[in-house]
Amino acid sequence: MVKNALSWRVLVFSWFGLLLHGAWISGLLAGAASLASGALLPEPIAWLLHLSLHIGLAAFTAEIRAWELRLNGASPGPVVMATSPRAALLRLIDQHPAILSRPARAGLADKTVLPA
């Protein structure tokens, strides 16, 4: 498990920050909602909505990205606790060495990934 913290990139850039993280579906949905609310709502309410959108997207960036990965067919793997993403990867490989020999995607079932 890697710490899920506030995403400063999404806090500053809002929905465009989600696009930079690779969350295309949720980023474009949030962008459409942001642009529509700016065009349809009075200015003070639109600014308040934009501010709350920035904070909400930044606070839940990890969950949004996980949702987007599930939409794209990814499934959660084993849970490994560590202090950083690099340490989590090393611990995952140490505890589950069979992961290195699994195919990367379901479409590549006939190919195997060999450890270096």
Report pLDDT for 102: 65
Q: What is the pLDDT along the chain (116 residues), one digit of tens a residue?
A: 556 788 899 999 988 999 998 889 999 999 999 999 889 999 889 899 999 999 999 999 988 988 888 888 887 777 888 888 888 889 988 988 888 876 665 554 444 454 54
* Contact call for residues 20 and 61 (beta carbons, < 8 A): no
Report pLDDT for 48: 92
Query: Which tokens hold the place of 58?
Result: 């930044």
Nearest to 17 by CA among 61, 50, 47, 56: 61
Report pLDDT for 36: 92
* Contact call for residues 17 and 9 (beta carbons, < 8 A): yes
Quote the CA–CA distance of 98 and 53 in Å, as a whole number.
Answer: 41
Quote the CA–CA distance of 60 and 53 in Å, as a whole number.
Answer: 11
Nearest to 29 by CA among 8, 15, 14, 11: 15
